[in-house]
Structure 1
Amino acid sequence: MATEILPTPRGEILPALPGQSPEAIAAWLAEQGEPSFRAKQILEWVWKKKVTSYEQMTNLPAALREKLARSFRLTALTHSKTQGSEDTTRKFLFKLHDGRYVESVLIPANPALYGEKSDRRTLCVSSQVGCAYGCKFCASGLAGFTRNLDASEIAGQVLAAEQIAGERVDSLVFMGMGEPMANFKNLMEAIALITGPETLHLGARHLTISTSGLAPQIRKLADHPQQIRLAISFHGATDEVRSQIMPVNKKYPVAELMDALAHWNSTKKQKLTLEYILIQGVNDGLDQAAILARHARNIGAKVNLIPYNTVDGLVWKRPAISHCRAFQDVLKKAGVTATLRIEKGHDIDAACGQLRLKQETAEGIV
């Protein structure tokens, strides 16, 4: 697994090798007076063979391995804990170089919610330590926002998950801790590493970014050439309901969000997904279902309904499954494709941020 991240004798933390683009590695090799073909070898050791020590890079000269060790740490994060079992949903807790934690969740046989086959292994990836957007039902922001993850820490979750699981991750959803669109630059640098032919080489169509509704960034992503999928954390069909539980709606209300999604449809072929967590007595009224259906039809979106996943310290409750199905039926009768997902990992703190919050609280960090 990933090795522990230690400071240099001068107390500095070296940049992580998994965060270096092929171009950056080539430039570094040129500065060191090393031949350019070594870049391909280094990238293969890091991304394809997933080595955990420089000594394993046996086709590199010892002197070059020493230069690499003095210039880069080999891992962006350290595997701290796993919850779950190999044949079901597993949550990984990763420690970062500054002592903070993030989570990733590996979901086998994920339902075909984002255009993927049902036998694929999907990794839910974090983009920030904590979250500044304060959705009232979410554990990620309970301790507030600490910082953005850099590209190596985002892409490094995928690399580490494959090391731990011993198998390839087939698809990614950026739905873990944080608001991915609020960390747009680092997110896109990480995606370049994840999709690059010399790195993980995972097709962009197997990546889904989830956002709480940052309209300007949605437009920016729509104009990006890669065919990345988009899911919207909607959770309220009207401004009145959505603003109660999602403060971001006050800045980007439903009409502005729908306008940005219309722009998305003008540039992308991928069908949009509206994520809708059903919270008892808050947003689960059948009148909300009817309005949600109209929004979904207007932008040609499918709807993913998720009964609320209980979070320690929050008062929200999940509706009865019979009521969830009634909500789903309203959408279906309106001609909207609607999936009711019974949340996996309910017994392993799988709601985003819970495991991290427990660990940091135990260590006195928060």
Structure 2
Amino acid sequence: MNTETGAEAQPLINLLGLSQAKLEAFFAELGEKKFRAIQVMKWIHQLGVCDFDEMSNLSKGLREKLKQRAVIEAPEVIQRWDSADGTRKFLFRVGGGNAIETVYIPDGDRGTLCVSSQVGCSLDCSFCATGKQGFNRDLSAHEIIGQVWQAAKSFGQLDSVNVADRKVTNVVMMGMGEPLLNFDNVVDAMNLMMHDNAYGLSKRRVTLSTSGVVPALDKLADVTDVSLAISLHASNDAIRNELVPINRKYPIAVLLDSAQRYIERMPDNRRKITIEYTLIDQLNDRPEHAHELVQLLKDVPVKINLIPFNPFSLSNYKRVSNNSLRRFQTILIDAGFTTTVRTTRGDDIDAACGQLAGQVNDRTRRAERYKLDAAAMMASNSDVIPVKLVQD
């Protein structure tokens, strides 16, 4: 990022990720009135302006002062792919040899942006491409909201004052990374998404998905009231321990109790938790797993989203068969659960659920280990799923 020159040079402050309160504090330091924060928020997030000289309702003196102290910079778009089905994937440069991916998914009058929260992921879920790349760092608030800003600009959304012209209508924190492990930055970014003077999304249109960081989930309701999704993927702890390793620390019962406490604190008592369940052939897609899931969730206010596994390199898992998918869904529906199937979108550009990878300067050496394991497996011509992962 640019810096001031001189003996006492200081880093310029990136205003893109600052909440209203933080912007007000910034302007107070400049000796300015607090209302300047709202003016600048509108310029940035509603009009897409990043040049202080274009902010015509600010005095020339203030504009010059801002140029000396601040900057408005979003992650750079390295590449953009457009799928035949309307899905759009972005690759963003975030420094240090790292890049992240963000995906826009259209569905009728809804346009959902899947946003990343970390460079890679510190969790190591076995069915997810992101985890295979290891982990580098958390994203800053401006790098998170910057994904929304860039996507909206790509559709011309920030050049229009007509809300009906919006392409990005929903945001899900389901991209690269575990959002609750980057708590403060994710909360600041989500609250900007919902701010009336920024993107104005309703709390029902911003969703945080977690694999189960229970201590952070327990304090989430203190700072926001976004919708909640649980990345469950298993009907019992034995299978989930293999798919989602954090389950060994916070097992299913503990996670669901925390999720229920979260929604019980919401002003709207009709809220439901979205349960995300990736179906993997012969692993968690059997009728007994569906019946087990019914018993597990019978007293929890949920809706269930079934996700067919999307294959990627370094994984031996296989996509669920259509017959098994329909059978699993029918069991849940017959038990009274609202159960949808996530349509695979953008798989021709590797933008489907679980396929986001980006470019991670891995500090964990996890990616190196996976590549070595894959090479060894290819050398032995083995394509068998480890027996301990198969549930008949």
TM-score band (shorter)?
Answer: 0.7 to 0.9
Calculate the TM-score normalised by the size of structure 1.
0.87
Structure 1 position 201 matched with structure 2 position 192? no
1:128 deviation in Å? 0.8
1:300 deviation in Å? 2.4
Following the alignment from structure 1 to structure 2, what is the Cα–Cα distance between the partners of residues 224 and 218? Answer: 10
Mark the CA change 1:20 to 1:133 in structure 2 (over 3 Å): closer, same or farther. Answer: same
Structure 1 position 189 matched with structure 2 position 179? no
1:126 deviation in Å? 0.8
Could you say which residue in structure 1 is the equivalent of 2:378? Answer: none
SS in 2 for 1:298: coil
SS in 2 for 1:160: helix
Contact conserved, 1:171 with 1:207, CA < 8 A, in 2?
yes
Deviates more, 1:14-23 or 1:288-297: 14-23
Following the alignment from structure 1 to structure 2, what is the Cα–Cα distance between the partners of residues 93 and 298? Answer: 41
Following the alignment from structure 2 to structure 1, what is the Cα–Cα distance between the partners of residues 256 and 354? Answer: 26
Structure 1 position 291 matched with structure 2 position 299? no
Larger Rg: 2
Following the alignment from structure 1 to structure 2, what is the Cα–Cα distance between the partners of residues 99 and 56? Answer: 32
Following the alignment from structure 2 to structure 1, what is the Cα–Cα distance between the partners of residues 334 and 345? Answer: 27
Mark the CA change 1:353 to 1:322 in structure 2 (over 3 Å): closer, same or farther. Answer: closer
Following the alignment from structure 1 to structure 2, what is the Cα–Cα distance between the partners of residues 348 and 7? Answer: 37
1:288 deviation in Å? 0.8
Could you say which residue in structure 1 is the equivalent of 2:143? Answer: 153
Contact conserved, 2:18 with 2:188, CA < 8 A, in 1?
no
1:225 deviation in Å? 6.5
1:8 deviation in Å? 5.5
Calculate the TM-score normalised by the size of structure 2.
0.82
Give structure 2 stretches of 5+ with no counterpart.
Answer: 158-165, 369-392
1:171 deviation in Å? 1.2
1:253 deviation in Å? 0.9
Could you say which residue in structure 1 is the equivalent of 2:382? Answer: none
Structure 1 position 59 matched with structure 2 position 57? yes
1:212 deviation in Å? 0.6
Mark the CA change 1:360 to 1:225 in structure 2 (over 3 Å): closer, same or farther. Answer: closer
Contact conserved, 1:152 with 1:190, CA < 8 A, in 2?
yes
Mark the CA change 1:59 to 1:86 in structure 2 (over 3 Å): closer, same or farther. Answer: farther
SS in 2 for 1:93: strand
Could you say which residue in structure 2 is the equivalent of 1:14? Answer: 12
Mark the CA change 1:12 to 1:354 in structure 2 (over 3 Å): closer, same or farther. Answer: farther
SS in 2 for 1:181: helix
Higher relative contact order (CA 8 A, sep 6+): 2
Contact conserved, 2:180 with 2:210, CA < 8 A, in 1?
yes
Contact conserved, 1:274 with 1:296, CA < 8 A, in 2?
no
1:207 deviation in Å? 1.0
- Work out the number of aligned pairs and report it: 349
Could you say which residue in structure 1 is the equivalent of 2:27? Answer: 29
Contact conserved, 1:296 with 1:336, CA < 8 A, in 2?
no
Could you say which residue in structure 2 is the equivalent of 1:100? Answer: 98
Could you say which residue in structure 2 is the equivalent of 1:175? Answer: 174
Q: How does 1:19-168 map to 2 (within 5 A)?
A: 19-85=17-83, 88-109=86-107, 119-167=109-157, 168=166
SS in 1 for 2:304: strand
Contact conserved, 2:74 with 2:149, CA < 8 A, in 1?
no
SS in 2 for 1:208: strand
Q: RMSD of the TM alignment (CA)?
A: 2.5
